[in-house]
Amino acid sequence: MKTRILGTQGLEVSALGMGCMNLSFGTGKAADINEGIKVIRSAYDKGITFFDTAEAYGPFTNEELVGASLKPFRKEVIIATKFGMISDTGINSKPEHIRKVVEASLKRLQTDYIDLLYQHRVDPNVPIEDVAGTIKDLIQEGKVKYFGLSEAGAVTIKRAHIVQPVSAVQNQYSIWTREPEVTVLPLCEALGIGFVPWAPIGTGFLTGKITPETKFDSDTDLRAAFPRFTPEAIRANMPVVELLTKIANTKNATPVQIALAWLLAQKTFIVPIPGMDKVEYLDDNIKSVNVELSIKDLEEIESGLANITFQGARLNEGLLGLSEE
């Protein structure tokens, strides 16, 4: 497995990370815990060292799963988790709440330190300087090693970075969700901050396995409420899958591998974290690290995308309202 560096403080991770959320929450029923452990440990066996979770996933159950799975090789992996967005407390980044969440996360993760701690969503009621200062204190105490922000905009990132260097920004980014390219990615490059795209394969759409007939269970699948996943939007957005498939066929690859290889080709400080809840998905996704896209390939993708107008917002209004651009 190739590695990449997040941030100027030298956080080294596998070039492809693993989003663990789907094993517990968000895109269907939770996996059996033994199956979840098997998938996460299989990812480690295949070279992945970067695992992403959050208190909000479940809530709580995903951190417990990640902690149990990675305990035997804790020192060999990087665990990222998040505070500040959960159903019972809402958006809350008050310093005392951050500390409370960290203590609870440490217990669930069965560890005495968190490698990378993200603010899950920016709290409009707490100055980002206070958040960054709290994380700085936690780093000095040895409970956290690196600081991250999720769904944060350029102004927030810049302000936070002055107080405590930000090692990674985790925003939604993929071949069909490119908002970070306007201000966030250029800022990350200028400040030496790593960028971790979540939903790098379009919350499953870029696999090519979702059709207008696909049904999403509103009780267990967040996509049931996403405008981009209505039957009409799926039908309208299918050309991007056709474009990826066309490129994939020339590379003896899959659409997923091209979608991930495209992200890896954008910047050397980008580390995607696809959600992989089955061992066969691991095998497919990991191959993307070795897929080489030439300048001609990238130009062909850009020209193809120029002819596609994506239908539907990337998230529902409630979640979009919690994100900065």
- How do residues 13-31 score in pLDDT, each as one tens digit? 999 999 999 999 999 999 9
**Residue whose C-alpha is closest to residue 109's, from 141, 84, 137, 77:** 77
CA distance 310 to 227: 11
HSE toward the beta carbon, residue 101, CA cutoff 13 A: 31
**CA–CA separation, 153 vs 106, rounded Å?**
28
The pLDDT of residue 86 is: 85
The reply to whether 118 belongs to the active site is no
> What residues are paired with 4 via a beta bridge?
13
pLDDT of residue 89: 72
Burial 273-292 (b: 16+ CB within 10 A, else e): bbbbbeeebbebbbbbbebe
| Token reading at 309 | 């107008």
Give me the percent of the chain exceeding a pLDDT of 90. 98
- Type of residue at 25: F
pLDDT of residue 88 exceeding 90, the answer is no
Residue 297 has pLDDT above 70, yes or no: yes
CA angle 254, 282, 232 (to 5 degrees): 55
Contact (Cβ atoms closer than 8 angstroms) between residue 78 and residue 13: yes
Average pLDDT over all residues of the chain: 97
Q: Which two tokens stand for residue 182?
A: 């306007």
pLDDT of 239: 98
- Higher-scoring residue by pLDDT: 86, 128: 128
Is 91 exposed, middle or buried (CB count within 10 Å of its CB: 0-12, 13-18, 19+)? middle
**Band of residue 325 on the pLDDT scale cut at 50, 70, 90:** confident
Tokens coding 51: 């695992």
Active-site residue identified among 44, 57, 173, 281:
57
* pLDDT single digits (tens) 153-197: 999 999 999 999 999 999 999 999 999 999 999 999 999 999 999
Q: Is residue 60's pLDDT more than 70?
A: yes
Report the pLDDT value the prediction gives residue 87, as an integer from 0 to 100. Answer: 64
The contacts of residue 297 (CB under 8 Å, 6+ apart) are 247, 250, 251
What share of the chain in percent tops pLDDT 70? 99
pTM equals 0.97
d(CA 56, CA 124): 19
Residues 6+ apart with CB under 8 A from 231: 212, 213
What DSSP line would sit under 238-253, residue for residue? HHHHHHHHHHHHHHT-
Exposure of 208 in the CB half-sphere (CA atoms within 13 A): 15
Give the pLDDT of residue 323. 95
Q: What is the pLDDT of residue 281?
A: 94
Give the largest CA-CA distance in the chain.
Answer: 54
pLDDT 10s digits, 241-269: 999 999 999 999 999 999 999 999 999 99
Structure confidence at residue 296 as a pLDDT band (50, 70, 90): very high
Of 191, 192, 118, give the one whose Cα is nearest residue 158: 191
Neighbours of 122 (CB within 10 A): 24
The predicted-structure confidence for 89-118, as pLDDT tens digits, reads as follows 789 999 999 999 999 999 999 999 999 999
Beta strands, E only, the chain: 3-6, 11-14, 18-19, 50-52, 78-83, 85-86, 90-91, 114-119, 144-150, 166-170, 194-195
